[in-house]
Amino acid sequence: MYRGMLFSSGGTCLQVPGMDNPPARCVRTYPVLEKDAWLWIWMGDKEKADAALIPNAFGFAPDRPMRTGHMDYDAHYQLIHDNLCDLSHVDFVHATTLRPISGAHWSETAPRITSADRGIRLERWFESADSPDGSAVVDTWNSYEFAVPGVFIMRSGRFPPGTAAKCNYAAPTGVVPINETVEQQAVTPISDRRTAYFFGTAVVGDNAPLTPDVNRRIEVVKAAFTEDREMIEAQQRIWDLTPAGDEMLFLPQDKGPFLMRKLLARLIASEAAASAAN
């Protein structure tokens, strides 16, 4: 893009402006795959790239009002994982942003958490929650997955009051929501103390057109990400000042982050052992 040199997808130099025979030079290449409108880049050993391990996402449908964005954190990626695996902080960090538009009190209900080989799933009902515009009372079903290497996929559906009980507090099946929202976020380490954060937030269902209310909700969600960053970067500064041997206190809300950290530690150790064996 600067000298006009052309390289093949394998990294071989094919053309240089002003030269009949390009030099025998190569650049490093990385396997790249597009899935669900995300671009996945494998930075490790090419032979170990496995497309089957890529989590599913909602993608970016042209008929779905969505806002996407990116921000960098001056913090270790694990702190962002903790934030996404425990949404009880919504009531406090996002008291004037996400909490009101979600219509629910996240710290007052415990999600059902299940573990998988490469992630965790959290789901729960919020009974008698407020609708996003505050005009009605609804039952809200919220479920999300946090998958390795750091992908957050959440769906929230709002239903008429009483739906939670009719579904026996399990996942709603055969019931059409009044409206739905989806969130998809990805956490990518840059260095030991810096992390890239990508996100997409959308509204689907009856409110699919990008109305002023929908646009306002999306902007509020984006504002909440800035609140998260301020809190998490402050956590990093505190961690850096805290002696490693200090006793840690675990709260009930720490179950999700604990399971995710345990999973990542196992996978990192397994990968390190495999590399050492080679």
Say yes or no to pLDDT of 208 above 60.
no
> Dihedral sign, CA of 44, 85, 220, 155?
positive
For 214-258, what is each residue's pLDDT tens digit?
Answer: 677 778 888 899 999 999 999 999 999 999 899 989 999 999 999
Cα 121 from Cα 114, distance rounded (Å):
5
Question: Domains in the chain, please, with CATH?
Answer: 6-36+40-48 (no CATH), 58-241+253-262 (3.90.380.10)
pLDDT of 135: 77
pLDDT of 62: 65
Rounded to an integer, the average pLDDT of 13-29 is 92
What percentage of the chain carries pLDDT values higher than 70? 94
For 137-189, what is each residue's pLDDT tens digit?
Answer: 999 999 999 999 999 999 999 999 999 999 999 999 989 998 888 899 999 99
Rounded to an integer, the average pLDDT of 108-134 is 90
Highest average pLDDT, of 14-18, 64-68, 207-211, comes from 14-18
pLDDT of 234: 98
Rounded to an integer, the average pLDDT of 96-104 is 89
pLDDT of 206: 45
Say yes or no to pLDDT of 65 above 80.
no
Cα 211 from Cα 179, distance rounded (Å):
13
Mean pLDDT of the chain: 90
Rounded to an integer, the average pLDDT of 52-64 is 80
Rounded to an integer, the average pLDDT of 20-46 is 90
pLDDT band for position 207 (50/70/90)? Answer: very low
pTM of the model: 0.88
By the 8 A CB rule, do 95 and 84 touch?
no
Cα 259 from Cα 152, distance rounded (Å):
15
Say yes or no to pLDDT of 39 above 60.
yes
Q: How many CB atoms lie within 10 A of CB 201?
A: 23
By the 8 A CB rule, do 115 and 259 touch?
yes
Say yes or no to pLDDT of 124 above 80.
yes
pLDDT of 205: 55
